[in-house]
A and B are shown apart, each in its own frame.
Chain A
């Protein structure tokens, strides 16, 4: 059997990869994808702990995380489209002003 710590280590690695993507990449779409990676790493933790404890609460929370991820993707992509229309760029360094 695979121990619980193995799942937690995989989840930690995936979360760190997502966080590194948010900090390192200079492309708004890649940053949003990195956030999705982080959300999924947390999903894996919830399901692994739920299986460990023997109840379904972990899976239920996973559904809520998925819903929030869908809402976040919709709003985030709408923001990306609105920003791209203004500056013709996806580099977050070009969006340093709150108003132009």
Chain B
């Protein structure tokens, strides 16, 4: 039973931390709570026999991307969200529109629950079909990544280059000659 207990602890932590990310008014706390949520999800990944994904999540996501968010929050001096400054006359705040959106969100949740209830073999323990040896070793991951997914890997490098150029271009001050 310890496996189920670990699962419930980590998933509960992830859900509570994510809910608090949305509930916070101060973006600084939101970023720090998201780091907590990512750490809990890394625990779930370890339980799913994916230790390398868990490490990459902690190092790349929590270590690099979240620090980037923290830098921006501090750079912009973190203006707090103020409910009084909401534009109540905005067309998207019309009661009909908000009710329509609420109905759509409820339909989404009911649909997801229905699909999860109806699944045939979803109640099987995860990992019951896995072969005996550890499939998720880093050696196997690298082999598949650099052979079967070669094109996607190369396309990723182009994506990162485009993102870098775009970020530099957009964050530049207007009228500045470089």
Q: Does B175 contact A (CB under 8 A)?
A: no
Contact partner of A4 among B21, B108, B112, B124, CB < 8 A? B124
Q: Does B50 contact A (CB under 8 A)?
A: yes
- Interface of A, helix, strand, loop or mixed by DSSP: helix
Chain B residue contacts of A18, Cβ below 8 A: 18
Q: Does B107 contact A (CB under 8 A)?
A: no
Proximity string of chain B (128-161) to chain A, C-beta cutoff 8 Å, 1 when within and 0 when not: 1111000110001100110011001000100110
Number of residues of chain A lying within 8 A (CB) of chain B: 71
Q: Are B135 and A25 in contact (CB under 8 A)?
A: no
- Interface of B, helix, strand, loop or mixed by DSSP: helix
Chain A residue contacts of B109, Cβ below 8 A: 16
Contact partner of B127 among A21, A37, A51, A81, CB < 8 A? A51
> Which 4 pairs of residues, A with B, have the shortest CB-CB distance?
A1-B125, A71-B163, A54-B130, A78-B167
Residues of A in contact with B (beta carbons under 8 Å apart)? 1-10, 12-14, 16-21, 23-27, 29-30, 32-34, 36-37, 40, 43-44, 47-48, 50-57, 59-60, 62-64, 66-75, 77-82, 84-85, 89-91, 93
Q: A1-B4, A67-B159 are in contact. List 11 more A-B contacts (CB 8 A).
A: A5-B116, A16-B108, A16-B109, A21-B21, A29-B76, A36-B34, A54-B130, A56-B136, A60-B144, A75-B166, A84-B76
